[in-house]
Amino acid sequence: MKKPSDYQILSDAELVAYAQSQLPYQTKAYETLMHRHQGKMYALCLKTVRNTEDAQDLTQDVMLKVFHNLKGFSGHSKVSTWLYSVASNTCLDYLRKHKRTTARHVPIEDGHNVPTPNSDETRILVKKALSSLDENDQMIINLHFTVGLSLDEIAEVLALKVSATKMRYYRAMDKLKKHVVDK
């Protein structure tokens, strides 16, 4: 495999192919892939654990897991889907181990029938509503709104059927609406 002059122009799949053939001795393709997705992985971790230091640590953990397991990536899913699957599982494992009791916040976009926080009172109300969701529902909301994955991609990340993912997503949104509207 000929070494490219600029890794930035390669697709995720091409970067994975190079990284799989080069790791652990050469890391340029891996580093480029991680740099490309680090922001969204960090955002997902931050939205899940609500602590910048923990989110940074978790993002590093995800990157290490990817480094050690990249050779085993089969390519049956998109690279980004696999990366966010590793990130979401790492965050959920962390939450289970630490049993967080603090509220976690997920941005809700306009047009999804949930009021957009536009005042301090509404922001507090939305935070409370989000904290009422269980970890799995929050992860679905995070993957959709923070990372921007479709429900089909979320189903793949969480190893669920698409119908189950849609059901969980819509139930979570209904819970949010009820909590915000009833208050």
Query: Which one, of 55, 4, 56, 71, lies nearest residue 32 by Cα?
Result: 4
Looking up tokens 């009021």 gives 115
In this prediction, residue 3 has a pLDDT band, given cuts at 50, 70 and 90, of: low
Query: Which one, of 15, 137, 116, 107, lies nearest residue 66 by Cα?
Result: 15
How buried is residue 16: exposed, middle or buried, by Cβ count under 10 Å (0-12/13-18/19+)? buried
Give the per-residue pLDDT at 109.
41
Give the per-residue pLDDT at 106.
42
Query: For 75-116, what is each residue's pLDDT tens digit?
Result: 888 899 899 999 999 998 898 888 644 434 444 443 444 444
Give the domains, in start order, of the chain with CATH numbers. 1-102 (1.10.1740.10), 106-183 (1.10.10.10)
Token pair of 158, please? 């969480």
